[in-house]
Amino acid sequence: MAHGEPLPWDGFQREVDETLRSVAAGEVASGGVDAAWREALLSPGKRVRPILMLLVAGMFSVPRRRVLPLAVIVEMVHAASLVLDDLPCMDDADTRRGRPSLHKTHGEAVATLASFELLSRAHARLPAACAVARLPRRRWAALGDELAHVVEQLCRGQALDLAGTAEAVDELERVHAQKTGSLFVLSARWGALAGRPSSVELDAVEDYARNLGLAFQVMDDVLDCVGDAGRLGKPVGQDASRATFVDLLGLDGARRLADELTATAVHCLAPFGRRGAELETLAREVVSRVR
């Protein structure tokens, strides 16, 4: 999907945004870390990871309200990682989601601290979120480990991406499997866990999410190349110093790769039959908006 354009699950997005606002509720002085992490969390996003989790949960007939707290945790970690990505020492991006990036409005120090605090708050919300999702108590610690493992992958993927040493498509895929794919997989996994999946079903949604996340990243590169800044919400061409899928494959080649990844994602949904229809739509949305 084009960044900035809503997914066709407006209601879901509204529910996620409402929950995020409740997380950020409370009076805060302007200018400090308290205001900054709230600004990072509430900046307008498509909430694709929470929506993915809600859709997967729905496929297992789990009511959305039971996974919303877990979905919020994923979005908090995502928001925290975006703040770091934009820092001058990383992508040095002046805008994000159509607004000045957090270090532009709050300074680098406060933005960095806000990201740190968001991550900590995300972790602390896990036990309560597991309870709402009715996950057995013996699994709660494992979910904390899974979250920390994804943070490790986000950090490793970001460092590799910045190093820009990937010279072949499979190397770049490995970078983005960590940087983007890992949080997609976690979102799908947690949505499924709330529905007591079989191991075949769990593997299937994780494979789906892995391919979806990669397709999402490839289209991000395509958009970064062809999009205009207003639509994208961030500076066009800012990834110029990094290897992108467009660099390695050209525009058409990158689009073809996104198509292939989408087809693979959809294929992973086979075990679910008609129950996978909404996830199929989600996968097709990822690549349809920039034709």
How crowded is residue 40: how many other Cβ atoms within 10 Å of its Cβ? 26
Rule CB under 8 A: say whether 141 interacts with its own copies.
yes
* One of 97, 99, 140, 248 touching its own copies (CB under 8 A): 140
List of residues 6+ apart from 102 with CB closer than 8 A: 36, 39, 40, 83, 86, 96, 110, 111, 114, 115
* One of 2, 87, 202, 236 touching its own copies (CB under 8 A): 87
Q: Which two tokens stand for residue 142?
A: 């494992």
Q: Which two tokens stand for residue 37?
A: 């992490």
How crowded is residue 55: how many other Cβ atoms within 10 Å of its Cβ? 22
* Shortest distance, position 45 Cβ to its own copies, whole Å: 20
Rule CB under 8 A: say whether 147 interacts with its own copies.
yes
String marking each residue 94-123 x if it binds its own copies according to CB under 8 A: -------------xxxx-xxxxxx-xxx-x
Measured distance CA(281)–CA(232) in Å, rounded: 22
Measured distance CA(143)–CA(123) in Å, rounded: 10
Rule CB under 8 A: say whether 90 interacts with its own copies.
yes
Q: Which two tokens stand for residue 80?
A: 């925290």
What is the per-residue DSSP string for 55-100? Answer: HHHHHTT--HHHHHHHHHHHHHHHHHHHHHHHSTTTT--SEETTEE
* One of 155, 169, 236, 248 touching its own copies (CB under 8 A): 155
Q: Contact, 107 vs 86, CB < 8 A? A: no
Closest Cα to residue 219, out of 49, 3, 74? 3
Rule CB under 8 A: say whether 187 interacts with its own copies.
no
* One of 21, 128, 196, 229 touching its own copies (CB under 8 A): 128
* Options 149-157, 166-174, 192-200, 222-230: segment touching its own copies (CB under 8 A): 149-157
Q: Closer to its own copies by CB, 119 or 225: give it.
A: 119
Q: Closer to its own copies by CB, 15 or 161: give it.
A: 161
Rule CB under 8 A: say whether 162 interacts with its own copies.
yes
* Shortest distance, position 158 Cβ to its own copies, whole Å: 6
Rule CB under 8 A: say whether 180 interacts with its own copies.
no
Q: Contact, 275 vs 204, CB < 8 A? A: no
The three-state secondary structure class of 282 is helix
The residues that touch its own copies, with contacts defined as CB under 8 A, are 32-34, 80, 84, 87, 89-90, 107-110, 112-117, 119-121, 123-124, 126-128, 137, 140-141, 144-145, 147-148, 151-152, 155-156, 158-160, 162
